[in-house]
Structure 1
């Protein structure tokens, strides 16, 4: 862990007594930390705390992102070498927001991803400082262009094939936007007739939505056609597992039926929901089973690693509020929900994406089971159901 490189007074003289007290700035450090940190993913193999700190401090000066005066913007770095990501803590909330504009910057030959950490709370952060980068940053000094992602966008460009001619561009776009806002979208058309050729391309504003959309839509039957959805730069399409197809099918079929009804007042052949597949009512809480073993929960180190891994995985699908993994009491007494993992999201959209992606995935040789969990029971800490 890189220690705080800025000297600060740990104490001040209290005129009302002989006991030292923390200055206001120091007392607020913990409260503002969630808004002063940024997540940096896709780090190069040889990156360490010192090189990360030096690089981002140098780049922040170059682009004019420092708001707290002279000195290094970075005060702390926590790096996970195995997962190739780090949390970089800035001096101020404004500097952290400015650092968000550095997404895609090349560090030691690698284009890194910059995101907000999972504990970032937008509503609380709004009162602490600017939530968006300054529009006056000189991003060209870091090899970046405002509003462009360069090679990174090409890597996240999605090919959508097998588009049925029944649906309009607006309806196809609506389907794609169920996984996140789009940066670009186009349906390729015949130059002479202006009719759709049955395929198109799109790019999401958040690259984390790319894999989710590919996994959920690839292989989906729409009428008499089957969608092919994969990264445009991939030589072979990403194939969904059978379990993921089954779990995602109900939600996708319902969406297709709704769109068909709105478009023409009639159902589309092949999209009817059979008696085997039923749709759950989405909630904001996802319950996972068969993803951890009881032995892992007794060890503090393993428990901490599992908790961090689930946070990292869960944030890929939406605004993750909390991760709860019930574990035994110190006296080895079992607790309700032992062996389960609960992911709490800010909305049902993120929770639904997580359910489609995590249900059926292999964890340590076991196939994960994902269900929507009643919010009232979750908030009461009733994990037994």
Structure 2
């Protein structure tokens, strides 16, 4: 959406490609990973603390730091998954009950990767949703533990979409129907983020790929209550806009998204990077400073940099005086967007360096997101205007603005 709104890029879809079926065939080497930069998680993920941590989502108040520690230690010993010798694999657990998640830190990256196998395992009241931290930059693979259904369905040729599900059916009831054709390796019933209501569709994968076509043939079009099932491979055969099929049914990998038209203008010395940072990344002063320095250092590899600007969101802690009009969350979001929050601007001394940086950084991965890049000249017409973005300021990274 950011790229579309600038008017500087090709229409959505022009530079995107569906996953070639050959990439999903077992036994073939995995495709080369997209090059990453910044945050210290590029070449060797073991150097980062994030490679030793796992995110546990949707925890309940019954989940505590102690019982989660005991659970992982016991299960890894039981399944013989610990890879780092003697002692307990879990170093620490931190629970955030306000946002219903926890982080589990292991003594090694190998232990964390092994523990990914427990994604979907039942603990207390339901399955554990285990993910890598959003800024993790290493491998995501894990072994499959028989009997444990992962909640993360990877984008492969064997990923299956099932739509038309009555909203009152839960995970166990839907899986009971699908298990008729084989053991399920991974399953994810998509729910509304707020109230947790089922959206009526899910993704799943069988342990035995041979069960895929059999299940599709038997279940597609079946009546369930007052609805009819739509079931097919997530990446093959479906078309956008078909009834009951959401955009998520079409996994795609972005190619480097480059600007539309000719980009070799002689005075285009400003590099604009999109899909690189989110407002949440920019609130904490320390995290903002790390991102600012990472961007500056990486961009200097392409030539001398005159200035770097990463607009920050307005503070939301303002106390409202009696009778003072409050700013709604939606209005605050518009203010941030109008200020350029979510974009990264880098001004080079020379236009040639900006162009080389664009070609070198477009498509690179930063905090798990694929960077979109273009170049601008000093007089380019953008919103917000470039003279506002590059207004004079102290050399230090700017503080959070007051709303």
TM-score interval for Structure 1 and Structure 2 normalised by the shorter chain:
0.3 to 0.5
Q: Which is bigger in relative contact order (C-alpha 8 A, separation at least 6)? A: 2
When you count helix as a share of all residues, which structure comes out higher? 1
The TM-score, its normalising length taken from structure 2, stands at 0.37
The TM-score, its normalising length taken from structure 1, stands at 0.39
